[in-house]
Every structure is written in C-alpha cells, then in structure tokens.
Amino acid sequence: MPSVNLPAADGRLEAFATTPPRDFPARANRPFNRIAYAAAHVVADPLAEADPWLEAAIDWPATIAYRRHLFDLGLGVAEAMDTAQRGMGLDWPASQELIRRSLAAAREIPGARIACGAGTDHLEPSPATTLDDVIGAYEEQVAFVEGQGGRIILMASRALAACAQSPDDYARVYDRVLGQVREPVLIHWLGEMFDPALRGYWGHDDHMAAMDVCLDVLAANAGRIDGIKISLLDKDKEVAMRRRLPDGVRMYTGDDFNYAELIAGDRVGYSDALLGIFDAIAPAASAALDAFAGGDVDTFHDILAPTVPLSRHIFRAPTRFYKTGVVFMAWLNGHQDHFVMVGGQQSARSLLHLAELFRLADAAGLLRDPDLASARMRQVLAQHGVEG
C-alpha cells in the first residue's frame, strides 16, 4: 500500500501508510428502513472565465454524475442546500439551473428521491427589508421548485433573521408560506454554527426557547409538513425535540457529529437523515443503512463508527467551512478531476486539516483507490511547498 509523508501539528513530516479500503457495494441492495438524504455538493468548472469569489461556474456533467452516484447507492439527494454552497457562493440563478438539471436526472432513475431547497437568498437583507419582502421571496422560490415538479425543503432565511422583531414574526412568515404549498415540505432549522447570520432564529438565542416557537409552527401546520431537519450539532436537543413533534412529522437529523446513534434511535423513536456528511461517506452510509434494514445492527455501527471522527473533523469549527472537506473527499476518491471550489473555498481549510482528513478517511476505509488518493494528497502537499 502507498505511503505519504504527512505534516504533524509540530511541523514534522511523518510517513503515513495507507490501508486497504473497505469493500462497500456500488449499489444499494434493498430499500432502507430509514429515509436518508445526502446534501450534495457542486463541482466547480476550473476552466471557466469567471471570477471565483464573485461568480459560480459549475461543471454540470460532473455535478449531475455525482448525484447519479448517490442515487445508485440508494440515497436521496437534498438539492441546492448549504453543502452546495447555497448562499455562500452559489447564487439563486445558479441554484435554479442546478435544481432543473437534478430534477431531470432524478426523473430518469426509478425510485430516486430528491427534495430541493427553497429560501430567500436572492433577497439581500437591509434595514428596509420587511416581513412581506421575506414572504414574497419565499413564495418566488417555492413557486419555482414546485413549477419544476420538485419537493420543497424550506430553508432558514437570513433576511427573516435580520428583520424579525419577535417569535410571532417567524410564525407569521411560516404560516403564510406553508399555507400555499402543494405537498408536505421539510423545514430546515440551520444553526448559527453553520451560518452565523442565523443566530437567534425563531426569535431566541437560546435553542430550547427557540425550539418551543418552532414546535408551535410545526403543530399549527402539521398537515403541510413532512418533517424537520435540525442542524444544531447537539444530540440531546434533537432527541428532546423529536419526542415533542406532532404526529406524522418526522425528525431528519442534521447532526454531523452524532448521526449513527440518532438514526439507530431508542425505545421512544428515531431520526431519519438529511446530512452533508452523507455526501462524503456515501458508500459507507449506504452499506450501513442496508445492514440496518436487514436487522444487522452490529454491522451498521461497525461501518459508521469510524466515519464519525472523520465527520467531526470535517465539521469542526468554523463549521461553515465544512464544504472544503466534502469536496476534498470527492476529489481524493476520483469523483472529480480537480480540487477547485465555488468561491475559491478550497483555501478555507489548512494543510494540517486536510492531512488529518486523509488519515481519518483511510481509517474509515473510505479511500477507494489508495494509490490515486495518495497521489492527489501529494499534489496538495507540493502546492504548499511540502515534499510528500
């Protein structure tokens, strides 16, 4: 097996010998007994004549090919979410094209599950922004997704967080938007660790007080809601909310730190999944869910246990830069031929961070071709002036 000289925290280089990957199937063998969405990344076009910090240039064939890879593994695709750098490099016009293309691809695959983000990111928050502006922005994006035949993930709104004066303002906006949807939607509560502009969402800085407001909104609109994804990276808060959900409303874990135990559940209930980390660990996630569906709980945990340290590393603070690790994984594994990102965010993590990611991905059995992954790791080292 190939070896790479990786930097350590003290500045020394240490030889790291890769190990054989785990033999994960390339296709799902049976239906899962948990709903599982992977929030999918986009592949940038490195040859486009565009300013990377200002314009989103997308490699559409590679981007859609990755979604087909996820569908083959039995995973649903949560489209145009923050993993795709939505609102963080990917603007609304590019998101519309992404949604159109992904829905078209999904229609070609029997049983493919896809849901698309609808938010307000084309509305630039300002002191003059009103609740009616926020409602109008939501309505525009919901109408587009539904017009394409897509299912809605109702994303948290920076504009709403900026202009809301009380919890009642959140209730007003969500009641108005949810009153118009064609079919039940997924609500996404994205915590401030993922997006600092969303601090105080639902009208409270305290998450438990915010949860009360959110639960009131869910109860008032339960017939129009499939479930809620919360991304607070706190399993106890997720379980507490899960136990208070209205009948028929699902919990979709967005906890990239504790997903294995939350999906497995307890005697009271369990979480389905809508996770950014499922993009990076898709083969392992699929194999684990397959085992779980077959009643093999031990194999489920055996597969996912070594992915958790990898996920916690990818999503470590500042968590909003986790997309860099997700794309790095895709590049190491040959799903794209470059490590270039929308917004130039390949530079958002340090060389030490990427080196540790390499070690943890190997430990999880997720470097599917160690020779290729090692060669690409050496490329990154060389770009930083390090002989790998």
Predicted confidence (pLDDT) per residue in 135-157, tens digit: 999 999 999 999 999 999 999 99
pLDDT band (50, 70, 90) for residue 53: confident
Q: What is the mean pLDDT of the chain?
A: 96
Q: What SS3 state is found at 362?
A: helix
CA 164 – CA 295 distance, rounded (Å): 46
Does 386 map to a domain?
Answer: no
Does 25 map to a domain?
Answer: no
Whether the pLDDT of residue 247 is over 70: the answer is yes
Predicted confidence (pLDDT) per residue in 272-331, tens digit: 999 999 999 999 999 999 999 999 999 999 999 999 999 999 999 999 999 999 999 999
pLDDT band (50, 70, 90) for residue 226: very high
Whether the pLDDT of residue 50 is over 90: the answer is no
Does 63 map to a domain?
Answer: yes
What would the mean pLDDT of 9-23 be, rounded to a whole number? Answer: 94
Domain containing 253 equals 32-294
Percent of the chain whose predicted confidence (pLDDT) is above 90 = 94
Whether the pLDDT of residue 338 is over 90: the answer is yes
Does 21 map to a domain?
Answer: no
Percent of the chain whose predicted confidence (pLDDT) is above 70 = 100
- Give the pLDDT confidence score for residue 388 in this predicted structure: 61
How far is CA 372 from its chain centroid?
25
Contact yes or no for 324/341 (Cβ under 8 A) = yes
pLDDT band (50, 70, 90) for residue 122: very high
Whether the pLDDT of residue 161 is over 90: the answer is yes
CA dist 363 → 148, 301, 306, 367 (Å): 41, 15, 7, 9
- Give the pLDDT confidence score for residue 378 in this predicted structure: 97
Q: What angle do CA 92, 96, 101 make, to 5 degrees?
A: 150
Whether the pLDDT of residue 11 is over 90: the answer is no
Predicted confidence (pLDDT) per residue in 58-81, tens digit: 999 999 999 999 999 999 999 999
Quote the tokens at residue 248. 């028929």
- Give the pLDDT confidence score for residue 334 in this predicted structure: 98
Confidence (pTM) = 0.96
Contact yes or no for 40/280 (Cβ under 8 A) = no
- Give the pLDDT confidence score for residue 52 in this predicted structure: 83
Does 333 map to a domain?
Answer: no
Does 153 map to a domain?
Answer: yes
- Give the pLDDT confidence score for residue 55 in this predicted structure: 85
CA 59 – CA 43 distance, rounded (Å): 6
What would the mean pLDDT of 27-49 be, rounded to a whole number? Answer: 95
Please report, for the domain that includes residue 89, its CATH number.
3.20.20.70
Contact yes or no for 327/244 (Cβ under 8 A) = no
Does 97 map to a domain?
Answer: yes
Does 198 map to a domain?
Answer: yes
* Structural domains of the chain, count: 1
